[in-house]
Structure 1
Amino acid sequence: MAELIVVRHGQASFGSAQAQGYDRLSEQGEVQSRMVGATLKAAGVVPDRLITGTLERQRRTLELMGFDGTPEEHPGFNEYDFHDMLHARFDGVPPDDVVRDRKHHFRTLRDTLKDWQQGGLPGAAESWPAYSDRVEAARLHATRPGADCVVVVSSGGTIGRLVQRAMGAPDEMMITLNLQVKNTSVTRFIFNARGRFYLHEFNAAPHFFTADGARHMTYS
């Protein structure tokens, strides 16, 4: 069977009210990206298909991982647009502490995603069903015939959705998984041409398993 390896992008710039501010790797994120690339290569991973979403933080992560080959892009691997959801939930003016305070941010993220999944946030640009459909389209694109090892760089929510779908778990499980995904962690699936798709490993980060490596571990 073939393998799909999905890596979450490196740490980005938290605290900007603008999505563009978050869509750049921090210095820590650049270090993490090089670390995971070196670890995967040391483990013998030689991808014959490379894919990212269209986000800069995803593209830059893959670039720094250092694999040979020309990557493809598929927007289905992009993250949901939480900034847009916040504007829909708070009538265009998200509270400042939601944007800048991590604890309040992630509590609000969980509540907002749950509302979104249940059909709330009618003003949001993308519904939960539309998001789910584009992630599934990206999965099918990545696992099409012709590759035995596919490496994708995506985002936490999309990785959570892929895992939730592979497990046949309720939609709300995506939220729990999303909030666990470490920057540059590795999630593996196996698949075949008959449409089989199984979770093999979730949120692994062997590049953080040493005392020196552990200081680089982040979640946002």
Structure 2
Amino acid sequence: MPELMVVRHAQASFGADNYDQLSELGHRQSAMAGEALREMGWVPDRLVTGTLTRQKETLHSMGFSDVPEEHSGWNEYDFHDLLRVKHGGAIPDLVQHDRKTHFRTLRETLREWQDDGLHGAAESWADFKARIQAARQFSTETDAQKVLVISSGGAIGQLVASAMSAPPEQMIALNLQVKNTSMTRFIFSSRAFFLHEFNATPHFAPQARADMLTYS
């Protein structure tokens, strides 16, 4: 059956003015991920990304030079927008720059969003779920046998949760587990969509590469 491989973008620039670009480590992570796919003999015949720079840079640094198709449904939710709504317009500096505080606040904010809170946010939880579904349909309605998608943690978490018919809070747990350049694989047909593998990072398996693993 055809396969959909969804790879999370590599490490972006956490704490920088422009988060939406890869760090130097992110480019190296991407190169290793691309090498791992080629070593497995997994050669895509369709490339898809969201519209974010960090997603496109990941694909390019993986060694795929063909221009990908784009679908904005693969983009991440706008956490900064959710935070601005939650905090009345100004995001606390500690939330933006301290990783521990950032991820604790992320969990709390997403749960409130899922409970139909955060009125005034640019995107509702229902709209987010709908666009992930649309992105999945766009990417799997194809004659291609191996579809490679570069996406983001929240989108991957929701895609997996949906495939497993899991409750909304499970999306948050999945989201926070997704590693940079991890590979999540699905098998699909016109009538079926099954999770086959989640959050795999074979390119970081050797002990010498253990410090390459990141989550943001």
Could you say which TM-score interval applies, normalised by the shorter chain? over 0.9
Q: How does 1:50-89 map to 2 (within 5 A)?
A: 50-67=47-64, 69-89=66-86
- Structure 1: gaps of 5 or more residues: none
User: What does residue 175 of structure 1 align with?
Assistant: 172
The answer to which of 59-68 and 90-99 deviates more is 59-68
User: What does residue 90 of structure 2 align with?
Assistant: 93
Kindly provide the amino acid, as one letter, of the partner of residue 200 in structure 1: H
Q: For 1:26-46, what per-residue CA distance to the aligned partner results, in whole angstroms no more than 9, with x for missing partners?
A: 001000000000000110011
Shift of 1:123: 1.3
Do residues 197 (structure 1) and 193 (structure 2) align?
yes
User: What does residue 2 of structure 1 align with?
Assistant: 2
User: What does residue 147 of structure 1 align with?
Assistant: 144
Indicate the percent of aligned positions where both proteins have the same amino acid.
60
SS in 2 for 1:15: coil
User: What does residue 133 of structure 1 align with?
Assistant: 130
Shift of 1:68: 5.1
Kindly provide the amino acid, as one letter, of the partner of residue 8 in structure 2: R
User: What does residue 12 of structure 2 align with?
Assistant: 12
The answer to which of 209-218 and 107-116 deviates more is 209-218
Shift of 1:190: 0.3
Residues 25 and 68 from structure 1, CA distance in 2 versus in 1: closer, same or farther, beyond 3 angstroms?
closer
Kindly provide the amino acid, as one letter, of the partner of residue 15 in structure 2: G
CA distance in 1, matches of 2:22, 2:130: 27
Residues 68 and 13 from structure 1, CA distance in 2 versus in 1: closer, same or farther, beyond 3 angstroms?
closer
Kindly provide the amino acid, as one letter, of the partner of residue 199 in structure 1: L
Do residues 206 (structure 1) and 206 (structure 2) align?
no
Kindly provide the amino acid, as one letter, of the partner of residue 192 in structure 1: S
Do residues 35 (structure 1) and 9 (structure 2) align?
no
Between the two proteins, the alignment pairs up a number of residues equal to: 216
CA distance in 2, matches of 1:199, 1:72: 23
- Structure 2: gaps of 5 or more residues: none
Indicate which of 115, 119, 127 corresponds to 2:116: 119
SS in 1 for 2:138: helix
Indicate which of 182, 191, 200 corresponds to 1:185: 182
Indicate which of 151, 154, 160 corresponds to 1:157: 154
Q: For 1:48-67, what per-residue CA distance to the aligned partner results, in whole angstroms no more than 9, with x for missing partners?
A: 11000000000000011113
Shift of 1:212: 1.8
CA distance in 1, matches of 2:141, 2:41: 22
- Alpha-carbon RMSD across the aligned residues, in angstroms, is 0.9
Structure 1 segments of 4+ aligned residues over 2 angstroms from their partners: 67-70
SS in 1 for 2:157: helix
SS in 2 for 1:86: helix
CA distance in 2, matches of 1:208, 1:215: 8
CA distance in 1, matches of 2:77, 2:25: 23
Kindly provide the amino acid, as one letter, of the partner of residue 114 in structure 1: R
